[in-house]
Amino acid sequence: MKTSQQQALVSLLQDGDATTVGLVKGKLIEGGHARVPEYQELMTLLTGPAKESMREVIHEIEASKALGDISRGLAKLRTLSQLEELCWDFARAEQPGFNGGPYKRQLDIWANELGKLIKPNATSLEKVKCMARYLGSEVGLSGNSHDYYHPRNGHLPWVMEFRSGLPITLTLIYMLVGMRLHIPVEGIGAPGHFLARLDNVIFDPYYKGRILTDGEWELIASEIPERQRPYLAKACTPLQTMHRLLINLRNCYVKRDDTEHRHMMDHYLAVLQR
């Protein structure tokens, strides 16, 4: 962008006329994500309301890009790695400029530390006990029973930060850490409560990785019609996991009367079902 163009935009944004500022912001947004570095440079020339207007322009562009990335990611979702990337995209849609890199590295660190605790010939039960002891007790991951329907419980980065979340987001952390160690932790879509499984060991990350007894699992199975019980035993695919995560987030937004975000979840659910 030429200096003369910059000066013209600065002048228009600082004009103070709401209609003019609105038109300028609209044209800037049309410039798209490729122009964001120029707009960030332009912000150094702005002050007061004009600077805030430019910040809103950048926010709108970055949020729009994140939403597009999510829609494309949902349409091709097949693997757990792709599901992880979508979680960072969701955070970016909520917080433009968000960088998932530090959170990926945190998962790497947790996996590295956990790997040191698991013996080479450990059984599935021993591996689960190690995961529960490390992720549940040492890292402190557990369910948020105090504010269950807060939307942050459904967003992976903030669950990692606050060490609390929903059954599905906590299980997802165990799955992603397991993936890094080639330990195939699966998600199980039990009615009303998402659980984790490694081979034949079923456990609950919401309660710090507590292992379920056979009797508890039988009680859960008894709560659904007999013809549906074979499906309960099957691991959720990444697509099914994301579908349930979106349903959980939608419920959070419904509880908070957040219509804008609820509509957004409806859009994503529609993309998944195509």
* pLDDT at res. 129: 97
What is the average pLDDT value for the chain, to the nearest integer? Answer: 89
* Alpha carbon 117 to chain centroid, angstroms: 28
- 116 exposed, middle or buried (CB, 10 Å; 0-12, 13-18, 19+)? exposed
- For the cut 70, the answer to whether the pLDDT of residue 70 exceeds it is yes
- For the cut 90, the answer to whether the pLDDT of residue 8 exceeds it is no
- For the cut 60, the answer to whether the pLDDT of residue 210 exceeds it is yes
Mean pLDDT across 247-264: 93
- For the cut 70, the answer to whether the pLDDT of residue 7 exceeds it is no
- Where residue 6 falls among pLDDT bands split at 50, 70, 90? low
Provide the percentage of residues in the chain whose pLDDT is more than 90.
57
CA angle 238, 89, 50 (to 5 degrees): 165
Given a contact cutoff of 8 angstroms between Cβ atoms, the answer to whether 40 and 58 are in contact is yes
- For the cut 70, the answer to whether the pLDDT of residue 2 exceeds it is no
State the Cα–Cα distance between residues 169 and 174, nearest whole angstrom.
Answer: 9
- Where residue 186 falls among pLDDT bands split at 50, 70, 90? very high
* pLDDT at res. 71: 84
Lookup: tokens for 82: 């792709």
Number of H helices, E strands in the chain: 13, 6
Highest mean pLDDT out of 11-15, 88-92, 242-246: 242-246
* pLDDT at res. 16: 65
* Alpha carbon 221 to chain centroid, angstroms: 29
pLDDT per residue over 73-126, tens digit each? 898 999 999 999 999 999 988 887 789 999 999 999 999 999 999 999 999 999
Domain ranges of the chain: 3-72, 79-272
